[in-house]
Amino acid sequence: MFPEQNSGYGYEDCKATADWLLTQTDIRPVVGIVCGSGLGGLADMLKDQVVFNYKDIPNFPQSTVRGHAGQLVFGTLKGRPCVCMQGRFHLYEGYPIQKITLPMRIFKLLGVETVMLTNAAGGLNQDYKVGDVMIIKDHINMPGFAGNNPLAGPNDDRFGVRFPCMSDAYDRELQQLAMDVGQELGYSDFLKEGVYCVLGGPSFETIAECRMLHRLGADAVGMSTVHEVITARHCGMRVFALSLITNQAVMDYESKEKANHEEVLQTGRQRAKQLEQLVSAMVTRIEHSQNYA
Ligand SMILES: O=P(O)(O)O[C@H]1O[C@H](CO)[C@@H](O)[C@H]1O
């Protein structure tokens, strides 16, 4: 179950991949962006792009899900050097959890200081509407309850400590920045803050499961992000994450609604421009160790 030393996920493997990427481009990213289902257009914001197909990057997994293009895009956003994953990996694709999160460690070794993760999620909170954007303030890691945590197995201290704290996983300043920027852009009507719950997928939730998750304190449900957040925090990167509410989770036996990936992708396309504006305005205002003003 746990990665062996030569598993392809260890420090040396991540370092080899990061070093290889650094020989292919002069861009030294300080921000790493992960595009959720149907949100790959975020990568199109980057200028002076250098694009790698995942299949050409040593050690990198391949995207298998529609709406996840499978490209790593380097570029600049209003002068800030960034790297963007146009396509992420999910547990249900069959990858070991350490492989899903490998890009976070590669981000770290590329010099990334802040990770911005996006996802598509089902709304459990009855006040949420399709198209709302939920700034994630906390998470519930359901697979983690069963021992499925990306940090399980031998700890490599070069990345981080054995028992990382998660009560501060989502950077509060960045949450406030998102709220401020959202307000300035006129997005307050559809900006929310809430708790994201990850499940293994790929089947969508039953009605009883949605009701249970809501009672447990989750505002939105999805199949990603949390593993990346844990790995990113373990190695000391700041984390901001948001969910686009692409569908209402079905909570009622009378409902005719059925969760489906088409609706997820469609909502992503409809909110794409506003999400790009929000993320790019935030990127210009995040402080980093180097000054790019
Ligand atoms: O979390 P992202 O990658 O946005 O994708 C979400 O959309 C897919 C379901 O439509 C699932 O993979 C779910 O996790």
Element (H, E) at 241: strand 238-248
The per-residue pLDDT for 13 is 94
Structure pTM? Answer: 0.96
The predicted-structure confidence for 46-68, as pLDDT tens digits, reads as follows: 999 999 999 999 999 998 888 87
In the chain, where the domains are located: 11-284
Q: Is the CB of 67 under 6 A from ligand 1?
A: no
The per-residue pLDDT for 3 is 53
Q: Is the CB of 88 under 6 A from ligand 1?
A: yes
What b/e readout covers 39-75, taking b as 16+ CB neighbours within 10 angstroms?
Answer: bbbbbebbeebebbebeebebbbebebebbbbbbbbb
Whether 68 has a binding-site annotation, put simply, is yes
Is 288 designated active site?
no
The whole-angstrom distance between residue 147's C-alpha and the CA centroid of its chain comes to 21
Match domain 11-284 to its CATH number in 1.10.3080.10, 3.20.20.140, 3.40.50.1580, 3.40.1010.10. Answer: 3.40.50.1580
Contacts of 63 (CB under 8 A, 6+ apart): 54, 69, 70, 87, 88, 89
The predicted-structure confidence for 243-273, as pLDDT tens digits, reads as follows: 999 999 999 999 998 999 999 999 999 999 9
The per-residue pLDDT for 288 is 86
Contacts of 48 (CB under 8 A, 6+ apart): 27, 75, 76
Tokens of 146: 């069963």
Given a cut of 70, whether residue 217 has pLDDT beyond it is yes
Whether 247 has a binding-site annotation, put simply, is yes
Q: Is the CB of 63 under 6 A from ligand 1?
A: no
Dihedrals φ, ψ of 62, to 5°?
A: -110, 145
Whether 139 has a binding-site annotation, put simply, is no
The per-residue pLDDT for 293 is 65
Percent pLDDT > 70 in the chain is 98
- The amino acid at residue 38 is G
Q: Is the CB of 224 under 6 A from ligand 1?
A: yes
Q: Whose CA is nearest to atom 14 of ligand 1?
A: 223
Given a cut of 80, whether residue 5 has pLDDT beyond it is no
